[in-house]
Amino acid sequence: MSELILKNASVVLADEVIRGSVYIKNGIIDDITTSDVKRGIDFEGDYLIPGLIELHTDHLEGHYMPRPKVRWNPVTAVQAHDAQIAAAGITTVFDALRIGMDTDADLTANDMKILSAAIAQSKKEGRLRADHMLHLRCEVSADDCLEAFAHFEGDDLVKVASLMDHAPGQRQFVNLETYKFYYMRMLKCTEEEFQAYSAERIAQSERNSAKHRRAISAYCRENNIALASHDDATEAHVDEAKLDGVKIAEFPTTFEAAIASHKENMHVLMGAPNIVRGGSHSGNISAQELAEQGYLDIISSDYIPASLMQSVFHLADQVDTISLPQSLAMVTLNPARAAGLDDRGEIAIGKRADIVRVKTVDNVPIIRKVWREGVRVM
C-alpha cells in the first residue's frame, strides 16, 4: 500500500479554504484533517488544490506542426504538449482533434489519425504525466466530416465532441464584415478571390451542416459522449443545440446565447485567455462579465495552458461575488461533471489524488508540484 501525506496546506475544498493536511492511500484521498500532523510533505501554507481539468485545447497541434508543412515526430509532440500541460497544473486534458477539414487547412484528416494513435501509444507506454482523453472538434460544414468522424467510432478515448460551423454567416462569423476582415487578412487574397471562397463555404454549410449535426449528435447520445456546441450566437442556435442534446455551450459569442444556454442547463464554457487579457481577442463577449453575472460555468485554456490557473486567481481576486473555491470549480469540478467524470475534480475523501501545490506572488500563481493519482509527475 502506498501512502502520501501532504501537511500544513491551505486546502481548497468545494466550499471553503482550510489550513490542514490530506492523507492519500493508493492514489485516492483517504482523509482530510485540520489536526496537527507531524510527518509528511510540508506545504508551508501553500495552496493544495485539485488538478485542473481542461476540456478543450488544440495546443497539441503547435507541437506537431511547429511550422507550415513541418510535421514533428507525433509521439515526441505529444510528450512535449503533455509536459506543458502538467506544468500548468492540468492533470486531466481533453486533446482537441479536428474532424472535417477546411479547404485551406494545413492539417489533414490523416494527421488527426496520426495524433490520436500517438496519444493512445503514449498512454499505453506510460509516457504521459497528465490523463489524456479526446475531444473531437467537428466542422459540420466540411464535406469529409462524417468520413473523418467514422475513424473514431468505438474509440474509448473519445469523451467529448463539439459541433461547429465556421462558414460565413454562421456562429462565430454571423457578422460578414468580421469574417471578411479575418479571412482576407489570413488568406492574403483579393476581393474577387474572397467572394469565391465565401460562396463555396456557404454552399458547403448549406449542403452538409444539418445532416452532419444530426448524425454526430445521434452517435454521441447513443455512446455516452458529452456533446458541445461551439460559438453559438443566437437563441435559435441554442434551441438547435438543445434538440441535439448538447450539454456544453463552448465560447458563445453573445450574451444572448450565453444566457439562453445557461437557462437550458448547459454548461457555459469560455476561454481563460479572455479572462486574463480582459476581453476576447476577436471582439466577442467578455468572459469575466459573464462570470460576474453568474452565467459562466467552465473555463478552458484554449490555446495557452498556463492561462487556466491564472484565470482562477484572477476571478477570485477581481470579482467580489466569486470566491476561490467557486472560481476553482470552473476548472475542476464543473468540467469533471460536464464530461461525466465522477472520480475527480475536488479535494474530497474517495476522489482521485490529482493534486497541485500552488503559491502566489502578487496574485500570480506559481505551480510548485503536481501529483496524479498520488504519484508526483512535476
CATH assignment of the domain containing 108? 3.20.20.140
What is the extent of the structural domain holding 320?
A: 52-343
What is the pLDDT at residue 201?
Answer: 80
pLDDT beyond 70 at 10? yes
365: domain CATH number is 2.30.40.10
Residues 275 and 297 in one domain: yes
Residues 3 and 106 in one domain: no
Residues 296 and 349 in one domain: no
What is the pLDDT at residue 262?
Answer: 95
Residues 90 and 203 in one domain: yes
pLDDT beyond 90 at 24? yes
Which pTM does this prediction carry? 0.93
pLDDT beyond 80 at 58? yes
What is the pLDDT at residue 314?
Answer: 97
What is the pLDDT at residue 171?
Answer: 57
Residues 198 and 275 in one domain: yes
Residues 378 and 280 in one domain: no
What is the pLDDT at residue 167?
Answer: 73
Residues 9 and 61 in one domain: no
Q: Of all helices (H) and strands (E), which one includes residue 211?
A: helix 191-222
What is the pLDDT at residue 198?
Answer: 74
pLDDT band at 283 (very low <50, low <70, confident <90, very high): low
Comparing 240 with 166, which gets the higher pLDDT? 240
Take residue 176 and report the three cell numbers written for it: 460578414
Residues 106 and 183 in one domain: yes
d(CA 125, CA 144): 32
Number of domains in the chain: 2
**Average pLDDT over the chain, rounded to an integer:** 92
Residues 29 and 85 in one domain: no
Residues 41 and 103 in one domain: no
Angle CA 69–74–79, to nearest 5: 125
Which residue has 439562453 as its cell numbers? 260
What is the pLDDT at residue 202?
Answer: 80
- N- to C-terminal Cα distance for the chain? 22
What is the pLDDT at residue 18?
Answer: 98
Residue-wise pLDDT for 106-133, tens only, equals 899 999 999 999 999 999 999 999 999 9
pLDDT beyond 60 at 237? yes
Read off the pLDDT of each residue in 326-346 and give the average, rounded to a whole number: 98
Residues 39 and 83 in one domain: no
What is the pLDDT at residue 103?
Answer: 67
d(CA 178, CA 39): 59
Residues 33 and 152 in one domain: no
